Chain A
Amino acid sequence: MGYSMRKNKTYHRKKTVLLWVLCMGMMVGLAGRLVYLCVFRSVYYSEKADDLHERERGIKAARGRILDANGEVLAANRTVCTISVIHSQIEEPEAVIAMLVKELGISEETARKRVEKRSSIERVKTNVDKKTGDTIRSYGYAGVKVDEDFKRYYPKGKLASRVIGFTGGDNQGIIGLEVEYEEILKGINGKILTTTDARGIEQNGIGESRQEPVAGRDLKVSLDVNIQAYCQQAAEKAMAEKQADSVSILLMNPQNGEIYACVNVPEFDLNDPFTLQQDTTGLSEKEIQDLLNQMWRNACINDTYEPGSTFKIITMSAGLSEGVVSPNDSFFCPGYKIVEDRRIHCHKRTGHGAENFVQGAQNSCNPVFIEVGLRLGVEKFCDYFRNFGLMEKTGIDLPGEASTIMHKEENIGEVELATMAFGQSFQITPIRLAATVSALVNGGKMVTPHVATDVLDEEGNVVKHLNFPEKEGVLSEETSRTVREILESVVSEGSGKNAYLEGYSIGGKTATSQTLPRSANRYISSFLGFTPAEHPTVLGLCIIRNPQGVYYGGTICAPVIRDIFSNVLPYLGIGHNSQET
């Protein structure tokens, strides 16, 4: 170094110290800032950070079961497993692949693809049996995850499909009891809080907290698997014999509204509710959905129809109650009745001739009931119509009940009144008809038809008995008895004789109605029967839609109810007359 360097003078030193002091000051300031952040703001920031790190994973609650009147399982849960692999955690890839191939029966190629894929978590197979899941878990391989889930299962398959209903992907009810009693059945889902990294991958062993799920309650229903199965069989037989579009059978207790059976054939498989019975190729998604919705409809509740002659029970009750007609009143049927300028035919064109009211009922004579309707007048008729609950829904515990389709009162003339008197020109649901007739034959008590009876806990103890509204005094006890007697004579001597069963007292009424448009010559045939006639505890309604060949309700529906009664009554312990006293 040939030159002499400048000296490090005092002022240089002073200034260096000054800079150092400034730097130290700033560092102390920053430390102060840290105190503020770490102490005074820490609650705020750490809460925000926790929100970021924690992930909620739901644990599904077991859905409550649905049990029939005898405790037979109609809807239950099956535990299924989802098998996944976590690439970053796998330690023995070859062993894992071999295990997956062996236990899941998948190809080695598939297993290898899943195991070797560098994703955070790769699903290998869903809906795996719990047993298989447990086996896989017992291998204890790192990076293999077995998640349990519940899947709804219906042990009886097609039985009472539209009543029980089914659940969707999140185990939520979609139709039937499954949706109506969702709150009782679903339980409370639990959750696991886990810590994750920014990609959402769970970090093992840090801060996991668990909230256990609460299983849903079981639901006990009044349906009886044996009765339901027998009715379904009877309906299927009738449908096949008459090549009908569909057959509905409803069996209930008219004293309390409990439903024993509700059949709509063809039924669909509850374990496979999204498969249509017809070919769906070439149909749009919307068309398929419409067809599915159609298939899921409960015709007894969701659809209305013209009740036809079974409605004469209502006209009869109103007439007797109002005193405009008595059983011995004389009538004459020339085969038609002229109302205003219209000639309304009786189903027997040649006429029933001279007959009293009871005989008119036995003959299901239209002119007789037209006469009763006209004697009542529009206002009274409508009052009874309302009073018998026909303008309201029954309140059955199933979703989607349809409303009555009825004329406006001010638009009802003599002709409309006449047609309504024998059950035409308006529409009600089968369940509405059954509920109203129940009230008319049980002594005048309007009951709410219902399927569910009790809420049970896991041990089968009744947690809650379900009560449904009842209304007394819809019809006097005396009139009700008269109605029962007349209807019993319809079966023992009149048009309902095909429902006659030796040793039992059965009341009932047949009906045959032409559907709209009348020109299509399509019919709905039905029969409504109840027993014992003195104190009815079983009421059955059979409806056959679009039967081929003979279509009279008395000919094709009454035998179905007779057949059902002959099997169900002994089963229910309803005594044979000869065994009484």
Chain B
Amino acid sequence: MRKEKEKKIDGTLLVTVWILLGLGLVILYSASAYNGRVRFHDPAYYFKKQLFASALGVIGMYAVAKIDYRRLFALAPWFYAASLALSTAVLFFGSEYNGSKRWLKLGPLSFQPSEFAKMAVILFLPWVMEHTKGRPDSLWFMTKAVLCTLPIAALVGSNNLSTAIILLGICAFLIFISHPGYLPFLGIGGAGIGFIAVFLMMESYRLERLAIWRNPEAYEKGFQTIQGLYAIGSGRIFGCGLGKGLQKLGFVPEAQNDMIFSIICEEGGLFGACLVIAVFAVLIWRLMVISIHARDLGGALIAGGIMGHIALQVILNIAVVTNTIPNTGITLPFISYGGTSVLFLLGEMGLALSVSRDTD
């Protein structure tokens, strides 16, 4: 433990998180009020649950920020093992919602192990890299990281492909940062594209997804995408005003979830949407700054992994909502409805803050 210099945490990151959290709750309330009223006779139904998880998350964030990340780092294998256990448990005891078995129920609380898995990977992969002997540009170094990610990615991916993609993405981020070379990644990138192509060809429904992406109006399954586009287009420059959107009235299905960014566009317009993107940009910038100023590789990789996690989800989510890429269910961090998600995102922010306390 370094006792000589007790540095302060990254204030900008903390403020950004608070802004994002507040913004997220307001937007969530607007987007979910209709569904809450219709389904539970309580417009604040989703808001209240999210608020509870956020409160819990904020406490967690401050607690984690206080702890030296290296102590948590040492516990990484246990987190990883727990995440594997929980992801296995959900396969057997999970409860279904909207046709996916993703939740573990514990009384009134429900828990989504896949969200926990992201944090576990962000901690565990740096730990593996830290504890791998030999040069970081060796093949073994890379293979080991991939091998460590695959089990959890496979478990999670069996019923939540999108999260598995995020996990693999974080893994790729971390390997890229830890590896001194550039050229091999061009090869890996090429191989990845080839893999995706084969993966798509294997199942016709995935090709159908591509067809829907290219012309969503021609397909019944393009409904969600089209409704999102209607919302975005309706927003124009400054939007119709917070709370005044119409697309959330059952037109965009589950407006509080993956498609919430379309509601931001409808109510806040291009201006509001760019503002939200800018806040994320600031967050990602601070995470990058924390990563490059971290004293040791462990801290740098943790902050880098978190940066990768947030950036991937934000980019993929907005890309899906704007129909830039084919539809896949990825939530918008801090804003989409999901208690477990916001809880662990705040936990990750705590980790990043903890890393930020010990930078040069």
Interface, chain A (partner B; CB < 8 A): 1, 5-9, 11-13, 15-17, 19-20, 23-24, 26-27, 30-31, 33-35, 37-39, 41-46, 48-49, 52-53, 88, 195-199, 203, 206
Contact = CB atoms under 8 A, between A and B. Distances in A.
A299 to B, nearest CB: 56
B284 interface: yes
Contact of B230 (A31, A34, A48, A199): A48
Name which of A11, A17, A206 has the most chain B CB atoms within 10 A of its CB: A11
Interface stretch (B12-20, B58-66, B297-305): B297-305
Contacts of A46: 230, 233-234, 236
Name which of B232, B296, B304, B314 has the most chain A CB atoms within 10 A of its CB: B232
B168 interface: no
A33 B246 contact: no
Interface of B: 1, 34, 37-38, 70, 74, 129-130, 173, 176-180, 229-237, 244, 246-247, 249-251, 265, 269-270, 273-274, 277, 280-281, 284-285, 288, 291-292, 294-300, 304, 307-308, 311, 314-315, 318-319, 322, 324
A45 B230 contact: yes
A316 to B, nearest CB: 77
Contact of A16 (B177, B274, B315): B177
A45 B232 contact: yes
Contacts of A41: 229, 233
Contacts of B70: 1, 5
A37 B284 contact: no
A198 B74 contact: no
Contacts of A7: 296-297
Given A33-B322, A46-B234, A23 B297 contact: no
Contacts of B280: 27
Given A13-B292, A37-B322, A20 B284 contact: yes
Given A34-B273, A35-B270, A197-B250, A20 B288 contact: yes
Given A23-B315, A42-B234, A49-B247, A5 B307 contact: no
A6 B300 CA distance: 10
A49 B295 contact: no
Nearest to B226: A48
A20 B307 contact: yes
Nearest to A207: B246
A38 B180 contact: no
30 contacts: A1-B1, A1-B74, A5-B130, A5-B297, A6-B130, A8-B297, A12-B297, A12-B300, A13-B291, A15-B176, A19-B288, A19-B307, A20-B307, A23-B315, A24-B285, A26-B315, A30-B322, A37-B233, A37-B265, A38-B232, A38-B235, A42-B233, A45-B232, A45-B233, A46-B233, A46-B234, A49-B231, A197-B250, A199-B250, A206-B246
Contacts of A197: 34, 246, 249-251
A23 B274 contact: no
Nearest to A20: B288
Contacts of B265: 34, 37-38
Contacts of B178: 12
Contacts of B1: 1
Name which of A1, A37, A48, A88 has the most chain B CB atoms within 10 A of its CB: A37
Given A12-B297, A23-B311, A27-B280, A38 B269 contact: yes
Contact of B246 (A6, A13, A17, A53): A53
A37 B292 contact: no
A38 B233 contact: yes
Given A38-B265, A197-B250, A199-B250, A27 B297 contact: no
Given A15-B177, A34-B232, A34-B322, A39 B237 contact: yes
4 closest residue pairs by CB, A with B? A45-B233, A198-B250, A197-B249, A5-B296
B246 to A, nearest CB: 5
A253 B289 CA distance: 104
Contacts of A48: 230, 233
Given A37-B229, A48-B230, A53-B246, 14 more contacts: A5-B130, A8-B295, A8-B297, A12-B292, A16-B304, A19-B176, A33-B322, A33-B324, A34-B273, A39-B237, A45-B229, A45-B234, A197-B246, A206-B246
